[in-house]
Amino acid sequence: MRIADYPREDGIDLSLVIPVYNEIDSLDALFAEVKATLDALPYTWEIVFIDDGSFDGSFEKLLKIQAACPKVGVVQFRRNFGQTAALSAGFDFAHGNIIITMDADLQNDPADIAVIVAKLDEGYDIVSGWRHARRDSWLNRKLPSTIANWLISRFTKVALHDYGCTLKAYRREVVKNLNLYGELHRFIPALANERGARVTEVKVNHRRRQFGQSKYTLSRTSRVLLDLANVKFLLEYRTRPIQFFGKLGLLSLFGGAAMFTGAVAMKLFWNFDLTGNPMLLTSFILFVAGIQLISTGLIGELVTRAYYENQGKPIYTVRTVVQPNRAGAAADKTAAGLLGDVEA
């Protein structure tokens, strides 16, 4: 079934999106905890499980859960696409006005759903969980996470202690138009903040893994760093690439001009032989690099303009629209006309 064909229902308050990849042992306990938590809340709800290409029987287990509870939906991928794709599919299939995401490994505590929803009701658009007492190994989980969170907060200017915590709550309108790829799911708060979303965090409980093995490896760190560079560019230069490439190009041109001037001075005042002079060669390389960088920026500007204009995409996002009182405006105009007649 295509996403566009998935039936929609009005009136659902909360959608809980849970990516699943080979977590068969935890699913029964997870569903029992989650259902008990959601039943205790004064909201209508649904659960959307995204089976991300599991091969341990997780999908069959999810079908049994779905057969026992009509509020459960299951989406199965053809293969493992990763957490970003799973969350993106969850956002597309979810019906709720508020979308909550969490892991399937029982390390996120379902009891914290009430906490993050209450925080969202204070007027925020995204509430991110902060695993302040994290139950993971220090060397290969906590240390890389601390470094990554510091770098992401510094580069995106959205200060969060725990970008990697999947337990988050989003208002539907904030995430419905986000295009996610790579490892960008952890950068959703920063990407949404750039569009004007109000982001905060709350401390949440974190539990030790009971079943299976962690899907996180240190090899993902390099991908996160590369995606951070991508996000930094998207946040600051997405609609004005000439500002990025142009600055580098001008810096290269000025550097080339300085080196060329130095090489000429060496010839004129100290009679240095410029044949094979590294400063002269470097100046030419910098000149060419500067021209190429500025040209790249100009091409980027043309591509950006074509993207926004051809698709009719605005370069802004709107939070609230208050329509003018057209009846009142017409009455004011009539009154002004009458006053004009009287004065005449």
Query: Which of 137-146, 243-252, 333-342 has the lowest average pLDDT?
Result: 333-342
Question: With bands split at pLDDT 50, 70 and 90, how would you rate the model's confidence at 214?
Answer: low
Distance between CA atoms of 310 and 4, rounded to whole angstroms?
Answer: 23
Where does residue 273 rank: exposed (0-12), middle (13-18), buried (19+ CB within 10 A)?
Answer: exposed
Share of the chain above pLDDT 70, in %: 82
- The pLDDT, as a whole number, for residue 6 is 42
- Asked if pLDDT for residue 208 goes beyond 80, the answer is yes
* Residues in CB range of 173: below 8 A, 6 or more apart: none
User: What does DSSP say about strands 72-76 and 168-171: parallel, antiparallel, or unpaired?
Assistant: unpaired
* Residues in CB range of 252: below 8 A, 6 or more apart: 286, 287, 289, 290, 293
Stretch (H or E) spanning 248: helix 241-270
256-288 confidence digits (pLDDT tens): 999 999 888 888 888 887 777 788 889 999 999
What count of other Cβ atoms lies within 10 Å of the Cβ of residue 150? 12
CA dihedral defined by 37, 49, 89, 191, rounded to 10 degrees?
A: 40
Phi, psi of 72 (to 5 degrees): -105, 135
Distance between CA atoms of 48 and 71, rounded to whole angstroms?
Answer: 9
Q: Look at 24 and 316; give whichever has higher pLDDT.
A: 24
- Judged by DSSP in three states, 42 sits in coil
Q: Where are the domains of the chain?
A: 3-237, 239-344
Q: Where are the beta strands (DSSP E) in the chain?
A: 14-20, 45-51, 72-76, 98-101, 126-130, 168-171, 199-203
- Asked if pLDDT for residue 220 goes beyond 60, the answer is yes
- The pLDDT, as a whole number, for residue 341 is 44
- Judged by DSSP in three states, 130 sits in strand
Using CA atoms, how far residue 13 sits from 17, 38, 44, 64, 78, in Å, is 13, 11, 5, 24, 29
- What pTM was estimated for this model as a whole? 0.73
What count of other Cβ atoms lies within 10 Å of the Cβ of residue 190? 24
- The pLDDT, as a whole number, for residue 11 is 72
First to last CA, the chain: 70
Question: With bands split at pLDDT 50, 70 and 90, how would you rate the model's confidence at 135?
Answer: confident
- Asked if pLDDT for residue 170 goes beyond 90, the answer is yes
- The pLDDT, as a whole number, for residue 241 is 86
Biggest distance spanned by C-alpha atoms of the chain: 92
* Residues in CB range of 203: below 8 A, 6 or more apart: 129, 130, 132
Q: Which residues pair with 95 in a beta bridge?
A: none
182-205 confidence digits (pLDDT tens): 778 888 998 898 888 999 999 999
For CA atoms 38, 41, 46, 48, give the dihedral sign.
negative
- The pLDDT, as a whole number, for residue 149 is 83
* Residues in CB range of 207: below 8 A, 6 or more apart: 106, 107, 108, 109, 135
- Does residue 96 contact residue 46 with C-beta atoms inside 8 Å? yes
- The pLDDT, as a whole number, for residue 14 is 95
CA atoms within 13 A on the CB side of 155: 21
Place of tokens 């925020």: 124
Q: Name the CATH superfamily for 3-237.
A: Spore Coat Polysaccharide Biosynthesis Protein SpsA; Chain A (3.90.550.10)
7-26 confidence digits (pLDDT tens): 445 578 999 999 999 999 99
